[in-house]
Amino acid sequence: MVDKQRNEIGTRFPDLYLKKKIVSFDIPNIYNYGDTQLIEILKNKIIEIQV
């Protein structure tokens, strides 16, 4: 999910948006499902938010 999508969710569902934690990894939508490069990016982003 990129920031633009997160902002759209906040606009469409403001009450729910404020009650949920939404994390934007700001990864461009250029990868195919199961792309090994995307998987590595996601693993690294998850590690970053857990620290």
User: Which pairs with CB-CB distance under 8 Å and at least 24 residues apart come from 21-24?
Assistant: 23/49
Give the Cα separation of 6 and 20 in Å (integer): 11
Closest CA relative to residue 41, chosen from 23, 51, 22, 26: 26
When pLDDT is averaged across residues 2-17 and rounded to a whole number, the result is 87
Average pLDDT, the chain: 88
Q: What are 25-42's pLDDT values in tens digits?
A: 888 889 999 999 999 999
Give the Cα separation of 27 and 42 in Å (integer): 9
pLDDT of residue 20: 83
pLDDT of residue 1: 57
pLDDT of residue 31: 94
Residue 40: burial class (beta carbons within 10 Å; 0-12, 13-18, 19+) = exposed
Whole-structure pTM value? 0.61
